[in-house]
Structure 1
Amino acid sequence: MSQADMTVVAAGDICGSACNQTDDVVTRINPAALITAGDNAYDKGSSSDYKRNYDPHWGKFNKIVHPSAGNHEYKTSGASGYFGYYESAGVPTGGSGKGYYSFDVGEWHMVALNSNISHSAGSTQGQWLKRDLAASTKPCTMAYWHHPRFSSGDHGDSSGSTDLYKILTDYKADVVVNGHDHHYERFAMATADGKKDEANGLRQFVIGTGGRALYSSTHTSRGPSEVFDNKTFGVGQFDLSASGYKFTFRPVEGRTFTDSVQGTCHAKTRP
């Protein structure tokens, strides 16, 4: 990588029985930023779950983490354990009741979204996303949230994420990271209806391998799945430049499955 390149690590569905292994992978990578795709502290994302399960292993990354919330966080009313834990550690969350926000890493615009509250195109969050993407001056964009538009895993496709996916393609975003299903999966660049489209589509990754028990059951996805593995804990490593990315799945020690792909960012236009 050149000096201008930045490394971001991503995972969801984390603590979990094996987050004492995935944290070692993050430490070895030593990224500039860490993003989470929700369900960070099982089972209910309560304050005690974060203190007991998450903090001893992943709490060491609080200076670089940029979290998003999952459905398990909302098993505690209003995801109060999630917001309370991160905000007390000085970690931005977008604020209680929202949980969506954006920031920049190098030449990439990063957008954390919340699929546990209203996220249709006309919702407050959907309208915010449009404004946020329109205002960004960065050449590349990555978004992340919990429920994947496409998944071949236990939960399958989340039609409720269609609007977020479409807004992102309208604004020529490049990469989406999700969790919820406890496996790893890479999709070809596609639009929200699942059609391959290199000129306009998003490349979506499901990285629900952060440490919670992996799922064995599967579904058929409408999305163009390219690689699927549900036997390996690990994290995704994105090496980001001003023109694109190199992605590598990094398994925990003792596992051999990996995956890699490269991509070029879309030329940005406004809808």
Structure 2
Amino acid sequence: MVATPAPPVEVPVNESPAAPTAPTLPPTGAATTWVNIFGDTGWCGSPVMASLARLMTDLGGDVFLAGDLAYPNGTLEEFRRCFDPELGRFRSRFWAAPGNHDYQTAGAAGYFTYFGERAGPDRSGYYAIGSSTWQVLMLNSNVANGRNSVQIEWVRQQLRSSTARCTLAVMHHPFDSSGPNGPNPQQRDLWDVMYSLGVDVVVTGHDHLYERHAPQDANQRPDPVRGIRLFIAGTGGAPPYGRARAAGNSEVLITGHGLLRLKLEPALYEWEFRNVNGAVLDRGLNICH
């Protein structure tokens, strides 16, 4: 059985209100920390969630979820039946961003009810996690993200006021992809703001594969000095996709399930992609801007 890629669901801003002064959540802790990231999970009947649960037990660290977390429609019943049995035990380690399948239920009500404060302090779907050396923005790529949108203004304020050297953003839809859902020009305004204000790394899901891109600017041109490095980690259990096209900045593409690990250090980040058996299939490091 192969899942049909779903297009982004555009949700009016007034369905997910949030002021630009939305609160920042407590610091993640130590100056150096490993975090785990994946999306496109909660697929009933898939053995992948049990494998990911074993892997997360062994690895430790917070878990950032990149959307589409209960298939097919993000109902509360699907979260309880398809996500919770294997992954619910890690809820205290989760920070979630919503995907388009989560919005198949009006207002992503199942998603927000299930995750509660682990989906942010309100139901906007975006929020910040701060620490002394890294700022983490959990973003909502399902809502309007035009240049003057509420979320983009909030992102501007967060980035301008941050004292952290390094910034990671997690959301569902990738700006570009070699899978069937790339490129996504509707993300350009958001990427322009993130690029101009120094975001280092963006991690997404949506395409059910792992892909690492070289740092790029908001016009998808290579920029090894100030560019944003994009990772796609839609590898959490939904049926995998293969390569559909060749994204211009793609460096590595892996078809299969697993999770991305990022080591957030004071002035750099390391990455590794582990499959469900724990084998490291991709790794590297980069200095922050």
* Aligned partner (choices 10, 14, 18) of residue 41 of structure 2: 14
CA contact under 8 A between 2:97 and 2:119: conserved in structure 1?
A: no
Distance, in Å, in 1 between the alignment partners of 2:249 and 2:36 is 23
Match of 1:118 in 2: 144
Report the equivalent of 2:5. none
Tell me the alpha carbon deviations over residues 20-79 of structure 1, each in whole angstroms, 9 at most, x when there is no partner.
212222221101x21011001111111001101111112112112110000000100110
Question: Which runs of at least 4 in structure 1 moved beyond 4 Å after TM superposition?
Answer: none
1:27 aligns with 2:53: no
TM superposition score normalised by structure 1: 0.91
Counterpart residue number, 1:269: none
- Alignment partners' CA distance in 1, 2:243 and 2:136: 31
Counterpart code for 2:118: V
TM-score by length of 2: 0.85
Amino acid at match of 1:226: E
Q: Where in structure 2 are there 5+ consecutive unaligned residues?
A: 1-29
SS of match in other structure, 1:260: strand
Matches within 5 A, 1:80-91: 80-87=109-116, 90-91=117-118
Tell me how far 1:217 sits from its aligned partner.
5.0
Summarize the alignment of residues 123-162 of structure 1 with structure 2, pairs less than 5 Å apart.
Answer: 123-162=149-188
- 1:194 offset after TM fit, Å? 1.3
Q: Distance in 2 between matches of 1:142 and 1:203?
A: 10
Partner of 1:185: 211
Q: Distance in 1 between matches of 2:174 and 2:212?
A: 12
SS of the equivalent of 1:226 reads: strand
Answering whether residue 101 of structure 2 is matched by residue 72 of structure 1, we say yes
Structure-to-structure mapping, 1:166-245, within 5 angstroms = 166-221=192-247, 223-230=248-255, 232-245=256-269
Q: Which amino acid aligns with 2:224?
A: E
What is the CA–CA distance in structure 2 between the aligned matches of 1:129 and 1:234, rounded to whole Å? 29
* Deviation readout 1:117-164 (Å, 9 max, x if unpaired): 111221011111100111111111000111100100021211111111
Pairwise CA distance, 1:177? 0.2
CA distance in 2, matches of 1:256, 1:60: 23
Q: Does 1:262 align with 2:285?
A: yes
1:93: how far off? 2.2
Distance 1:8 1:171, change over 3 A: same
Distance in 2 of aligned mates of 1:59 and 1:137 = 34
Matched, 1:50 2:73: no
1:263 partner amino acid: N
Aligned to 2:70: 41
Q: 1:119 to 1:170 in 2, by over 3 A?
A: same
**What per-residue deviation string (whole Å, max 9, x for no partner) do you get for residues 212-239 of structure 1?**
1101351232x40000011x21000111
The question of whether the paired residues in 2 share the 8 Å contact of 1:184 and 1:208 is answered with: yes
What is the rounded CA distance, in whole Å, between the counterparts of 1:34 and 1:48 in structure 2? Answer: 22
Q: Distance in 2 between matches of 1:202 and 1:108?
A: 15
Query: Which range moved further: 108-117 or 3-12?
Result: 3-12
Q: Distance in 1 between matches of 2:93 and 2:109?
A: 21
Percent same amino acid at aligned positions? 35
Among 103, 116, 134, the residue aligned to 1:108: 134
Q: CA RMSD in A?
A: 1.5
Distance 1:8 1:106, change over 3 A: farther
Contact 1:12–1:39 (Cα < 8 Å) also in 2: yes
